[in-house]
Amino acid sequence: MDGICEGRVVIVTGAGRGIGREHALEFARQGADVVVNDLGAEVDGTGASMGPAQDVAAEIRAMGRRALVNGDDVSDEQGAKGLVTAAIEEFGHLDVLVNNAGILRDRMLVNMTFEEWDAVIRVHLRGTFGPSHFAAEYWRELSKRGDDVDARIINTSSPSGIYGNIGQANYGAAKAGIASFTIIAAMELARYGVTVNAISPAAATRMTIPLRARRGGPEPVADEFDPSAPDNISPLVVWLGSVESRAVSGRVFNVRGGRISVAEGWRAGPVASRESRWDPAELGEVVPALVAAAQANANMAGVPSAPDEG
């Protein structure tokens, strides 16, 4: 029986470990040929090794699918272009781009260096923009010449970005930017047959396991379903990359374990309106009343915070 991505060509960035690795393997199980992009860096972005990407590619080939190892830096203009070009040259076409690469440089705002800010913003935001830009150029040209384009971009946001998390001003700002980028790119690329969606995953990876350990989270139990396992994230991503998802675009999905929900984003809440300019002195009553009537900001689980959560 063919998989839901049979014959599709997929790029997964940051595919050497963690969630990205699981994406690449699941796409292959579902019939796709995969470009495994990874620098093999440490969590903070330092160092490099092609070993993890080569290991994933070997697993994909063992399934009978084709795999291409790629070590381009997706936050670099020429690296992003080279990645997309390599996929098309190797496999003849490109159907899906999964922007998953990322790093962490967690620090409280008052202690964060400019280099820590820039490094995280560059890898996440620029590393999402670059491959998306060159893939979109390719699909636009196909569409202009009359080809039937049915392509996908799937980005990786985070609960830290769409809900907020202390100590992650750089990471959260980048992930919030990716969520907005997703919505705008979906509007712009719809005319070319391209959908753009994002996931906000929660899973145990190199990035998150130390955070969970500090919070005293429960350890997984052998032979029981582990909702924190990174492979739980990939079924949704693979479905979004399939031909079945053509009608879904511009959405951000929360996913953890067996739970999937749609993040509904910023909405205009309670309103105070008048047909003249406000005097600042009048707002002392107006603004607190609006805040009291508004729903509380969501916590990291995506639900409104309890009063004692702030």
- Residue tagged active-site, from 75, 132, 157, 158: 158
* Active site annotation includes 158: yes
The residue from 75, 138, 160, 175 that is catalytic is 175
**Does residue 175 have an active-site annotation?**
yes
Burial zone of 78 (CB within 10 Å; 0-12 exposed, 13-18 middle, 19+ buried): exposed
Neighbours of 198 (CB within 10 A): 30
From the candidates 132, 138, 160, 171, which is the catalytic residue?
A: 171
Q: Which residues are catalytic?
A: 158, 171, 175
